[in-house]
Amino acid sequence: MDDVMDESRACAPGPTGDNRPIGVFDSGLGGLTVARSIATALTHESIYYVGDTKRCPYGPRTEHEVRSFALQAGRWLEAHDVKIIVIACNTATAAALSVAQQTLNVPVIGVIAPGARAAINTTRTRKVGVLATELTVRSGAYTRAIQNLDAGVDVYGCPAPSFVDIVERELATGAHLQERWLESGDIFDTPDIRAEVARTLTPIADTEVDTVVLGCTHFPLLAGPIRHALGAGVRVVSSAEETTRELTDILQRRGQLAAEGVEPQHRFATTSDNLAAFAAAGSFIFGQPLKSIEHVDLPELERLYRR
């Protein structure tokens, strides 16, 4: 036992100072909820974000298709010299995490294991709801991740096929987003959206879950109407903070945290043709202006991985 403990001490964090960016990827804007948590906790780290807005949503697609999109984005980020990749999309994590870890030459983490940990740390009744895209629910990835931590937890998957579109559509208004947000406090908490959210949540509202995990990185933007539909007795958790903790641990262990005092240089890329709308919506979610945005051509991505 002592020997084992000595071995683990020998693997203690090395010197810090890898200032290369952290690659973060999502089907669109939702992953910026995770990027924001990373930027808030790791203030010296630079982020290189890719949002595949043109092919969003991923949820209704096949696993095969989403896997190839995720590998394209992973290779693109790898070619841009990131030190680690965060798949900030539950759907892409469900479809592609293990193949991305095997295929890419940098470490890759997803958001489902962290989301599962957040749920397990919160539930008291051991009944958990998972609100996610169709593909994520169908994959069973959350059920496996939660029951790997506690096999006695009952997991109720609830597909929310319209939520990603609601978020992306609402955010596509771009230009007036900041003012509307300041005026109303929550642009997503409208009677129409409340009604759609309540309808979608009916299957889990009828169970005895005490915790619902937002198994899609777009859904924290709908937290207001979701909380309203579930009522005060149900805790709503997301994977962003747990993902940031896991990322921090890995970078620390590998001696790859950026050097203290480094000024982060965040960069953003999107397959959308409307960079202005992406900038406006993205700044709102990320919580600071997206200063550097570039367009990525789909043919450029497709060249990197053909299924």
**Which of the residues are catalytic?**
89, 216
Q: How far is the CB of 66 from ligand DGL (least distance, A)?
A: 9
Q: How far is the CB of 214 from ligand DGL (least distance, A)?
A: 9
Give the footprint of ligand DGL on this chain (CB under 6 A).
26-28, 30-31, 56-59, 89-91, 133, 136, 164, 216-218
Q: Find, among 193, 267, 203, the residue nearest to 230 by Cα.
A: 203
Q: Which is nearer to ligand DGL, 30 or 225 (CB)?
A: 30
The answer to whether the beta carbons of residues 271 and 51 sit under 8 Å apart is: yes
The answer to whether the beta carbons of residues 52 and 282 sit under 8 Å apart is: no
Q: How far is the CB of 15 from ligand DGL (least distance, A)?
A: 35
Widest CA span of the chain, in angstroms? Answer: 62
Q: How far is the CB of 229 from ligand DGL (least distance, A)?
A: 19
CA atoms of 131 and 211, how far apart (whole Å): 11
The answer to whether the beta carbons of residues 141 and 93 sit under 8 Å apart is: yes
Structure tokens at 189: 């908490």
The answer to whether the beta carbons of residues 79 and 48 sit under 8 Å apart is: no
Structure tokens at 106: 């940098």
**Cis check: omega of the bond before 57, within 30 degrees of 0:** yes
Instruction: Kindly report the backbone phi and psi dihedral angles of residue 176, in degrees, each rounded to the nearest multiple of 5, phi listed first.
Output: -100, 10
